[in-house]
Amino acid sequence: MRLAAIEAGGTKFICAIGDDLGNIFERIVIPTTTPEETMEKAIDFFKNYKFDALGIGCFGPIDLDLNSSKYGYITSTPKVAWRNYNIVGKLKKHFSLPIIFDTDVNAAALGELRWGNAKGLDSCLYITVGTGIGAGAVTEGNMVHGLMHPEMGHIMIKRYPGDTYEGKCPYHKDCLEGMACGPAIEERWGIKAYDLEESHEAWSLEAFYLAQALVNYILVLSPKKIVMGGGVMKQRHLFPLIRENVVKILNGYVDKEEIINDIENYITYPGLGDDAGICGALALGSYALK
């Protein structure tokens, strides 16, 4: 079986051909410009191959409601050219086969569950900490949807004592994304995140904010695994700091082995590395055929 996949991001689109074992055979990276230009290049690439289904993990917000007239649209994105763009409709005009559409982070969660660090489980949460913060989740084998889809990057969190940074979120200022995304770290300290030394106080704040978010996700969704990806999480020294804070905040309340004795494996990096998103889109494709 051959599957097509798109990881549609705000700066680049990754298009790939692979299979339902998570192998990728061909891929291209297209810079995200206008919908017309970007989609034309993606469609030209896919026309070279035969495949059975197409999965799309997409930046959002997006409309996932099958009963909505706007199903398959990117909706209120800050990327103006893509606002109200019918991405699934455009692809359907060229490919008459099952197409499945979800958020980039729900796709990554599915990818990690199928082939990555959550393999063998039926639930996991994937969070990316990069230009923005977003998280997706799979529970009992299905991606979490609802009124729209979770927007877990925008939850409210307590401030680190003495942190007076106003916050970067254009909607909420000091929500999780506003306080802890890569650009927020860089604006708060005036230093590129990858240039901040391990001993810099920035990382204590970062771990404090991310740990609060994870605690909230643990208490609300009860995921069996938490996978943390995105540019900021390349700072591997953040993991022990985050785990320590999570244990401290939970204070024994969630009395499970995974948290009490095995937090190193419970809060982990993507097993698929930088391919969590594109492999997730591939996993969506295979999900479409089920």
**Chain residues that interact with Zn ion, rule: CB under 5 A:** 154, 169, 171-172, 175, 177
* Half-sphere exposure (Cβ direction) of 243: Cα atoms closer than 13 Å: 21
Pairing of strands 3-8, 99-103: unpaired
- Partner touching 175 among ligand ADP, Zn ion, none, CB below 5 to 8 Å by kind: Zn ion
Q: Which is nearer to Zn ion, 171 or 253 (CB)?
A: 171
User: With respect to ligand ADP, which residue has the nearer C-beta, 53 or 133?
Assistant: 133
- The nearest distance, CB 190 to Zn ion, in angstroms, is 22
User: How far apart, in whole angstroms, are the C-alpha atoms of residue 216 and residue 228?
Assistant: 15
Alpha helices in 116-224 (DSSP H): 176-180, 182-189, 202-221
Task: Render the burial of 258-288: b for 16+ CB within 10 Å, e for the rest.
Answer: bbeeebeebbbbbbbeebbbbbbbbbbbbbb
Bridge partners, 17 (sequence order): 4, 26
Rounded to a whole number of angstroms, the minimum distance from the CB of residue 186 to Zn ion is 17
Backbone CA torsion sign across 193, 194, 196, 199: positive
Nearer to ligand ADP, 193 or 259 (CB): 193
Number of other CB atoms surrounding residue 224 within 10 Å: 18
Instruction: Find the shortest distance in angstroms from Cβ 151 to ligand ADP.
Output: 15
| Residues binding ligand ADP (CB under 6 A) | 9, 11, 128, 130-131, 182-183, 186, 193-194, 230-232, 234-235
Q: How far is the CB of 135 from ligand ADP (least distance, A)?
A: 13
Partner whose footprint covers residue 154, from Zn ion, ligand ADP, none (CB < 5 to 8 Å by kind): Zn ion
In the complex, the smallest distance separating the C-beta of residue 165 from Zn ion, rounded to whole angstroms, is 14
Task: Give the strand pairing for 267-268 and 12-18.
Answer: unpaired
Task: Tell me which of Zn ion, ligand ADP, none is bound by residue 25, counting a contact when its beta carbon lies within the kind-specific cut-off of 5 to 8 angstroms.
Answer: none
271 binds, among Zn ion, ligand ADP, none (CB under 5 to 8 A by kind): none
